Each structure stands twice: as structure tokens, then as C-alpha cells.
Amino acid sequence: MAEDRVSVRLVIRGRVQGVGYRAWVGREARAGGLDGWARNRADGSVEALVSGAPERTRAFIEKAWRGPPAARVTAIDQTLAEAPVEPGFRILPTV
């Protein structure tokens, strides 16, 4: 039986650029077996698409509030999304 999956688009705000947040997202997502991507946005936020088992996705979002030591997350906007086309987790260029 196929594992249930959920896909969520996150926009993470606060001090999340220049502190290794995007790389941290990649490491945590891969460690949690999640698919998707992360990228910096010109407005100073980090955008991510995470897709995987519901409990792993929830755990990732909880960790995203902390992030790496120098980060200070003030908000995470969440919306349901389509699953990524490619498996694995990628870091994308800034938009």
C-alpha cells in the first residue's frame, strides 16, 4: 500500500537569509525523507515546498520554527500544494 503524502508550501519570515537557513532546510528535509525544494525570495523570506508522510511533514514544520542557531523565525505561512514533480530535495536559486 502506498504511503499517504501531504505537500505544503511554506513561506518563512524573519531573520532567515544570511544565516544558513536554506541549507538547514535542505539537510532537515533530506534527513526526514521529504521531497521538495527551498529558495530565498527577494523580499527576505525563504520559500519551501515539502512533501512526504503527514507526520514527517508536521515534524519538519515544527523544526522550521527554530531553524539554525542564528535564525529568528517570526512567521510561517502554510498552504497545501501539489507534490513536487521530481523526487528528492533541491535548493533553488533566489526569486
CA–CA separation, 33 vs 24, rounded Å?
Answer: 14
CA–CA separation, 93 vs 95, rounded Å?
Answer: 7
Provide the annotated active-site residues.
22, 40
CA–CA separation, 52 vs 82, rounded Å?
Answer: 12
